[in-house]
Structure 1
Amino acid sequence: MKPAYLFKAGWRVFFLAAGIWAMISVAVWTLWLAGLGGSGTGAGVAPQLWHAHEMIFGYATAAMGGFFLTAVPNWTGAKAAPERFVMLVAGLWLAGRLAVALAGLLPPVLVAAIDLSFLPVLAAKVLTQLMARPKPQNMMFLLLITMVWSANLLVHLEWLGLAGTEWLGLRGGLLAIAAMIAALGGRVTPAFTRNALIRAGREDRLPVSRPWLDLPGTALPILTALVVLAGAPDAIGGILAIAAGLVAAARLSGWRPLALPGQPIVWALHLGYAMLALGLVVWGLAQLGWGSETGALHILGIGAIGGMTLAVMSRASLGHSGRALVAPRAVAIAYGLIPLAVALRWAGSAFAASFYLPGVIGSGLLWCAAFALYLGALWPIFFELRRNEAEVAA
């Protein structure tokens, strides 16, 4: 293993950073809940808000960075980002995490400036690469990145004492990333399932994408996030979210979700997308007064965003390192731990108050275990040359 290889591609450093930060940000929160973390996180904000902020704008944006720096050159044929740029944006992302962690010691305006710097630099690189072959379905992701950045800005505006928009930003940021999962998952899930079925010689019943569902399947989650960020009444966002969830479920039904039970690297994508459909419906119902909004947001956060990013990061890491697209046993187990973490976290919010701590702590432990398995299985990949490159170098 050579640390210098870590910055040769965006997926290496960001998928590693995402896995590490997934564990750290949840472990700190879980330890605090268990009474082992002192009076707070040192972040200058309430521990539960630090945890929420870092899962949305720390973990999820790291996964985004790795994905876009890897996928966009493949979409457009543009040159991949050079090592020095990968080092720059990775440094900006890390600086944001440190600034928020030390927010109690730093001027709020400095914390905001540092934490808000990562996504604009990433978006600028994505824009230059997309312009090599501009297509509306790809340019749309710049809107989504802007929405996530705007949500983080709303959080910082309250931390600066300028507006009461912290919760609006956290909720809107999570929903914007869920919309990104809807757009990306709607592409990769049927495509990767089709490829796997063809490789298995099962071409009789391939996944079916229905054009009349594809547009609303992408547009409705984006619209839901937009109306939330705009501060629209809860009922409007709730109705849109329910519609988005039902469309997502209808799309998934045509993608043969049960066709390859022996291939975790495929069914994990379906599971993540199913969590997206469920989470949107449950959150929409909560906005209309039925059920726990916190529980619903964690279905989206843990199940849809966590589950889909874990599936995509592990698949991309294997594929781009020249390895077979077969999930190691540890990673397959990690896929299965995510829905268990969802169930416990939802139960912690939905049932009696006496189950809150056991549910949340149990969920946190399962989440940390899942990402420990992911990191343990794939750690060497992030520091090694692609296999055919290593053969040439030898």
Structure 2
Amino acid sequence: MPTTTSSHSPARPRRLPLLRLAFRPFFLLAALFGVVSLLVWLAFWHGNILLRPYGGLVFWHQHEMLFGFAAAVVGGFLLTAVRNWTGLPSLNGGPLLALVLLWLLGRLLMAFPMELPGGLLLAVDLAFLPMVAMVMAHLVIKAKRWRNLIFVPLLLLFAVANAAMHLGVMKGDPDMIRQAAYLAVLLITLMMTVVGGRVIAMFTANRLGRPKPAPIPMLEGAVLLTTGGVVLLQLAILLGAAIPAPLLAGVMLLAAFSNAIRMARWGGLYSWRVPLLWGLHGSYACIPLGFIMWAMALMGVLRTELAVHALTIGGMGTMMLAMMARVSLGHTGRPIRTLPGIGVALGLMLLAALLRSPILALFPQITHWTYTLSILFWCLAYGVFLLHYTWPLMTARVDGQDG
């Protein structure tokens, strides 16, 4: 029998399984959008212009991987998780459909601006994240589950970064675009540290039958303080403050150290037989890697975009794939196991990150091939996800419950 967590009658969710919970449409659309948009970017990299989007293809690639792909995964995950966190019905049915259509309209107008004014594009594209934050805030406050309120200001700051990227295009200010994109990447990284800290150690202990290491309050505080400090310093840079590069580099190194120590306690070395686990550990390892490379870039040793791609491909892309693969099984009533090819997909994502970041830093002469292979590896990895999960995401739970 369906549970009472849904505000709809049992018959209605059975007719519209795709709209039962936010993870269903947003995981499916994010994976598909990520593959399509990167194929467009691959064509551009090889000299073929398939699209003339708002802001140009370079801006579109940066913006849409953050506020198209990543925002959809973040929204789908949080609007699903908040039901478990609060015990209250989350967005579903018609309101969820409206939110999905809003996200889709943003993607459509960014790809085909049709000479519409930049202010209108900004308004449409900007609306998605505040709407997700509003639903989160309502449920968390109503249930008085205050520890989960942290995601609301993070989502709103994510929206600020989106607005700043748009304003950069409207003002013809490439530095504003770049600094806003950096802020978005660091905000996603901070969200990964929050979510990863809650689930990776627990998933590992439960799956391997090992004791879960007790959190060390001082270490947990250091992770949030340093990673959050990096975000605040980048926000200050975006707002025009003259932050010394050595200061930002120092905080990034502290964030790298604290995150690495935290991760080392989770037992990742014992997870090598379980791809859904080592994928999470591998993605989290890209956070200290990205921070170290970014600090090196601030000291003039390498290019910042190499560090950014360690965080976006290795951290963001891999963790999202691993979490989507796990959540999509658990919330459709299926056993949580590694489906055929998912281990290869996660390995391809981590390999793409290594090629696009540290290997490219060491061998810049192979730029063309590393770009091409990293894009193809991402597309293959998410193609495997779509192959396995499109049908489960579009159909009712196998156990008959709502979700």
- Which TM-score band (shorter chain)? over 0.9
How far apart in 2 are the matches of 1:332 and 1:125?
34
Q: Which secondary structure state, in structure 2, belongs to the residue aligned with residue 329 of structure 1?
A: coil
- Which among 272, 278, 283 is matched to residue 283 of structure 2? 272
1 CA distance for matches of 2:362 and 2:114?
Answer: 34
- Residue 52 (str. 1) matches residue 62 (str. 2): yes
After TM superposition, the structure 1 stretch with the greater mean CA deviation from structure 2, 132-141 or 55-64, is: 132-141
Cα displacement (A) at 1:252: 0.6
1:44-193 map, 5 Å:
44-103=54-113, 105-161=115-171, 165-193=176-204
Alignment-derived partner of residue 373 in structure 1: 384
Contact 1:29 1:51 in 2 (8 A): yes
Contact 2:86 2:145 in 1 (8 A): no
Give yes or no for contact 1:95–1:114 (8 Å, CA) kept in 2: yes
Residue 287 of structure 1 corresponds to: 298
Deviation for aligned residue 1:191? 1.3
2:372 corresponds to 1:361 = yes
Deviation at 1:351, TM superposition (A): 4.6
Question: How far has the Cα of 1:281 moved from its partner?
Answer: 1.7
For 1:17 and 1:3, how far apart are their aligned partners in 2?
A: 20
- Could you tell me how far 1:235 is from its partner in structure 2? 3.0
5+ residue gaps, structure 2, are: 1-13, 238-242
Gaps of 5+ in 1: none
> In the aligned structure 2, how far is the partner of 1:222 from the partner of 1:187?
16
Residue 258 (structure 1) aligned to one of 269, 274, 290: 269
Amino acid at match of 1:25: S
Question: Following the alignment from structure 2 to structure 1, what is the Cα–Cα distance between the partners of residues 316 and 325?
Answer: 14
- 1:312 pairs, out of 302, 323, 328, with 323
- Spell out, residue by residue over 1:40-99, the C-alpha distance to the aligned partner (whole angstroms, 9 max, x if none): x31132322211111111111000111111101111112221311211111111111111
Distance 1:153 1:312 in 2: 28
Cα deviation, 1:112-156, whole Å, max 9, x if unaligned, reads 011101011111101111113334431111111111111111111
Residue 251 and residue 12 in structure 1: after superposition, are their counterparts in 2 closer, same or farther (change >3 A)? same
Compared CA separation, residues 33 and 162, structure 1 to 2 (3 A):
closer
Q: Distance in 2 between matches of 1:52 and 1:282?
A: 19
Asked if 2 retains the 8 angstrom alpha-carbon contact of 1:307 and 1:338, the reply is: yes
Q: Is the 8 A contact 2:37 2:61 kept in 1?
A: yes
- Taking structure 1 as reference, are residues 340 and 168 closer, same or farther at Cα in structure 2, changes over 3 Å only? same
Q: 1:213 aligns with which of 214, 219, 222?
A: 219
Partner Cα separation in structure 2 for residue 187 and residue 218 of structure 1 = 13
Between 1:108-117 and 1:224-233, the stretch displaced more is 224-233
> Partner residue of 1:14?
26
Q: Flag the 1:218–1:135 CA change in 2: closer, same or farther, 3 A.
A: farther
> What's the RMSD between the two structures over aligned residues?
1.9
Deviation per CA, 1:179-203: give whole Å up to 9, x if none: 11111111110111121123xxxx4
Task: Give the total of aligned pairs.
Answer: 383
Q: Which residue of 2 aligns with 1:300?
A: 311
Are residues 98 and 207 of structure 1, via their aligned partners in 2, closer, same or farther at CA, if it must alter by over 3 Å?
A: same
Give the superposition deviation at 1:301.
Answer: 0.4
In percent, how many aligned pairs have the same letter? Answer: 31
Shift of 1:3: 8.3
Letter in 2 for 1:209: P
**What secondary structure is seen at the aligned counterpart in 2 of 1:35?**
coil
Q: Distance in 2 between matches of 1:339 and 1:162?
A: 35
C-alpha displacement of 1:291 = 2.1
Q: Deviations over 1:286-345 (max 9, x none)?
A: 122222211110000000001111111110000001111101022121111011111221
Q: Structure 2-normalised TM-score?
A: 0.90
Change (3 A) 1:194 1:257: same
Q: In the alignment, what sits opposite 1:334?
A: 345
TM-score, normalisation: structure 1 = 0.92
